[in-house]
Amino acid sequence: LPLETSMKAAMSLMGSQGIVSATELLLAGAVFCLVFLLIQSLRQRVPKGLQSPPGPRGFPILGNVLELRKDPHLVLTRLSRLYGDVMEVRIGTRPVLVLSGLDTIKQALVKQAEDFLGRPDLHSFHYVTDGKSLTFSPDSGEVWRARRKLAQNALKTFSITPSPRVSSCCLLEEHASQEAEYLVTKFLQLMEEEKSFDPYRYLVVSVANVICAMCFGKRHDHNDQELLNIVNTSDRFAAVAASGNPADFIPLLQYLPSRSMRLFIDFNKSFLRFTQKFVKEHYQTYDKDYIRDITDSLIEECLEKRVVTNLAAQVPEENIVNLVNDLFGAGFDTVTTALSWSLMYLVVHPHIQKRIQRELDQTIGWERRPRLSDRGMLPYTEAFILEVFRHSSFMPFTIPHSTTRDTVLNGYYIPKDRCVFINQWQVNHDEKLWKDPQTFNPERFLSADGTEVNKVEGMKVLIFGLGKRNCAGETIARWEVFLFLTTLLQQLEFSVREGKQVDMTPLYGLTVKHHRCEHFQVKQRFPVKSMN
């Protein structure tokens, strides 16, 4: 019997005979884990001429879980120096392949993309959008490909260029600029009231409002309790969904009380209800001649069957809410985290902030707001954003992959259904790729004369994954970070109150956060003018 089935049967049997002590339950769990481990070791057969990936031995039953309990990205980076770019660890009794090194990761996710296209069937993933999430679903077949293509097409439609049938009020560039402008006003108001502030609490709502506009055609007030309940509890999701969560790999833990897991489940239910309400309203007011937003675009594909390849037929109407849920969820946490780290680096390195502002003054001036078309003319600003991505590595791992079939990578045999961790943090701090990787230095991405971004260097930074499972909204996320950052820095100078410091210690999760800082202050860089 599989371990999970055995555990359920054992608990049912023992429960029928009276109250079972915690010690008896743990002993029973240990016995079943040992039996499962023995069965697994007997099942794995490595073809002749090949070998399994090396890795640390770990403890019986627990594997390497004790080593990985804190900052797994750092622990696995240290272990990769001993065992190489293709390494195997055990979390509980379950083997996990860990890939490091840019070339190795490209080989797996790009050149052998079909072999590594899957998602592992992890316990926590079952609670994301009722187990039907585009991002977290183990499915990697035709239905998944159809849903991903629909999502990408919808994102592209509402990015920059409007069409006659699409509402221009929901385009990314317009709304991101408006929300950034709102933040400028809000931060200045706080300073007029002589209040220092935590920028994250305002950033997260403004960024969420951008994806709200794209998905649902509306923005929320910053005091809207419905939206605040979602964005202010998103850390509950990141804490459990992070790579290496023991409950995903040790079945016994799934039956023990867990506050973090309960909060995770509650968050996912609330988030799903939030998106379901808007999707229901869109079905009731849908007009095929006027596509208002991403939700309308997805409804159109399903109702009008406009996709020539019959993709729409593979995406039933009830799954639209799941697609929207994924797009909305990914659309605010990643961007908010990137912007929050950016402001932290700016106040720690004020000379870098001043250099970005000089570039903005010389290139754009004060007579208009930054646009996406300015990106190529602001190389130092772009280099700064790349260095924030690299140095913070706020996505230390991609969402775990799994192998779809038996395969070979760098001479090592990898069986089907093997869970795979992609260590992006290691790549972004690899001494073979970067000079002084622990130093924050945007100039590493500039050409010798400082007038252009070195695109080859920029492509070495891993933050959104690679290959067919990379972040569908990567381009939009990069654009949004640029628009928010340049609009804020054009008008404001950021600092922290005298005598206060920021804590840059990373806090591990699906996205790595920093300690919140409530001591930010701003200064207006020039009088408010009428802008084009």
Question: Looking at this protein, which amino acid is placed at residue 368?
Answer: R
Close Cβ partners of 95 (under 8 Å, ≥ 6 residues apart): 40, 88, 89, 418, 419
Close Cβ partners of 527 (under 8 Å, ≥ 6 residues apart): none
Write out the two tokens for 293: 């937003």
The Cα–Cα gap between 147 and 137 comes to 11
Q: To 10 degrees, what angle do helices 320-348 and 294-304 make?
A: 160
- Tell which residue, 362, 342, 363, 364, has the closest CA to residue 353: 342
The Cα–Cα gap between 360 and 370 comes to 8
Q: How far is CA 499 from CA 151, 495, 516, 519, 520, in A?
A: 47, 11, 17, 10, 12
Does the annotation place 170 within a ligand binding site? no
**What are the residues facing 492 on neighbouring strands?**
524
Counting Cα atoms < 13 Å in the Cβ hemisphere of 174 gives: 14
- Tell which residue, 87, 113, 105, 56, has the closest CA to residue 430: 105
Main-chain dihedrals φ then ψ at residue 318, nearest 5 degrees: -65, -20
The Cα–Cα gap between 269 and 476 comes to 26
Main-chain dihedrals φ then ψ at residue 231, nearest 5 degrees: -70, -30
Contact between residue 126 and residue 451 where contact means Cβ atoms under 8 Å apart: no
Binding site per annotation, positions: 471
Binding site per annotation, positions for heme: 471
